[in-house]
Amino acid sequence: MLRVPGRIVIRDAVVPAAGEGATVVVEDRRIAAVAPRGQPVEGRPGDWDVDADGRLVVAGQIDVHTSLALGHLVRRAGVPGRPPATLADLRAGLRDRLETRVRPDAVAALARAAAVAALRAGTTCVFDLLRAAPGSAADALEAQAGAVADVGLRAVLAWGGGASRGGSPPGGEADVRAGVEFAGRREAEARLRGAVGLSGLPSLSAAALDEAAAAAPRIGIHASVAEDESDLAHVYARWGRRPVDVLAAHHLLGPRTLVAHGATTVHSEAMVLSDTGATLAVTPRSAAFWGAPLPPLLPFAALGVRLAFGTDGLFPDPAGEALAAVSRVRGAERSTAAAEGLVGAVAWPSAARLASEWFGDTLGAVETGALADLVVLDWRPAAPLPEGSAGDLALLWAGAPAAWTIVDGEVRLREGRLLGADEAEIAARAREAAAALLA
């Protein structure tokens, strides 16, 4: 990583809002100027000139629901062999077993490697829901915070709970308090925030939800609910309500609430999400990978639900999720026009709005005054870019790797090389941690 004492001046870039041959200037953590071709930007002593060489410059991607520590291990379970038959089998047979054994040192090693993968994919901000060994919330959150700081990723971290414990009475108050305390310690940091995490509604007590609600307006909520029908059945058996209605009844929904998955969410719940301004994080590729349903994206968007894309930790790039969502909708509707506006007008702006809300400043935009989370993609458009929003254009460059990644005005990736850390060592430690967990 490297914070340049002067300015970073990215020249000869393709910038969607400014065209070919544009120059982007970064100074004091912010985008200081976006100059189109023909508008000179004079150099200054101490400038770091970056030659984009005709490559596309975009705002860093925002992953609104991931699992840095365990995502790649869970994805490993889906390769040919003996994958779990259902998501319920995955939770019971693999995920819970892994989570029981994940200690803070393993969290750090695995999350550090996943953070590198995110930067390489052009993702600069993640909302992570961490699950690890029961009782390790405080230490595991600090370990993950150290890992993302080492690599330089911007992150909102929440504790999603330890592995389920069959027969245990509902609880979770200590875990909620650990999340609140962690968030309190991170309120003033530039690239790191905390949130209250909620996962496994059937195992949470009313007292835990009430404690979360008290902190929600200040630090926000990241809840994972209703991944499939079995999840819905357990929630209904415990609470007598559908998952979103449980959150609403405990005053947990609002503009700083992120509800992940929601695969079984119905119209009435969508209306509640829309009315409260909560964001619904959907993970199209993860759902397809496990044969799970997605909520009805087009009807929910029409209701005004703030949809945004997460990766669930299985993949590093939200642009790929956008492409998967559009492909899925077009295939179901048998129309290329079916998904118009879903990404560019709904999901991409929702992610930017959410990140900007959490960090109290503009993110997700290549514009003067925004925080400088920028990516020079290793991709040169072979045809003129069509007019459209940043989200719609992401459907064109999805899958392109990052050549340069800048987070909060600091260079993290330079011509594909990670700065400030040994990537080979990071990968080796992650493999060692993974091998111990899988043994």
Task: Categorize the per-residue pLDDT at 81 as very low, low, confident or very high, splitting at 50, 70 and 90.
Answer: low
The whole-angstrom separation of Cα 100 and Cα 70 is 12
Mean pLDDT of the chain: 93
With beta carbons less than 8 A apart as the criterion, state whether 314 and 73 touch.
no
CATH architecture classification, 2-59+362-418? Roll (2.30)
Q: How many helices (H) and strands (E) does the chain have?
A: 16, 18
User: What local confidence, expressed as pLDDT, does residue 6 receive?
Assistant: 82
Q: Same fold for the domain at 2-59+362-418 and the one at 61-357?
A: no
User: Which whole number is the average pLDDT over 358-363?
Assistant: 97
pLDDT of residue 110: 97
Distant-in-sequence, close-in-space partners of 335: CB < 8 Å, separation ≥ 6: none
Q: What does the pLDDT look like over 374-422, one tens digit per residue?
A: 999 999 999 999 988 999 999 999 999 999 999 999 999 999 999 999 9
Asked if the model's pLDDT at residue 5 lies above 90, the reply is: no
Are 254 and 290 a contacting pair, CB within 8 Å?
no
Handedness of CA 98, 103, 106, 108 (dihedral sign): positive
Residue ranges per structural domain of the chain: 2-59+362-418, 61-357
130-178 residue pLDDT tens:
999 989 999 999 999 999 999 999 999 999 976 554 456 788 999 999 9
Instruction: Decide if pLDDT at 17 tops 90.
Output: no
d(CA 297, CA 295): 6
CA dist 41 → 8, 31, 54 (Å): 12, 14, 17
Confidence of residue 83 (pLDDT cuts 50, 70, 90): low
Helices (H), 131-276: 137-151, 173-185, 206-219, 229-239, 243-249, 267-276
pLDDT (0 to 100) of residue 165: 47
pLDDT confidence of residue 291 = 85
Which amino acid is residue 242, in one-letter code? R
Is pLDDT of 354 > 50?
yes
- Per CATH, which fold does 61-357 belong to? TIM Barrel (3.20.20)
| Distance, CA of 263 to CA of 351 (rounded, Å) | 19
What pTM value is reported for the model?
Answer: 0.96
* 84, pLDDT greater than 80: no
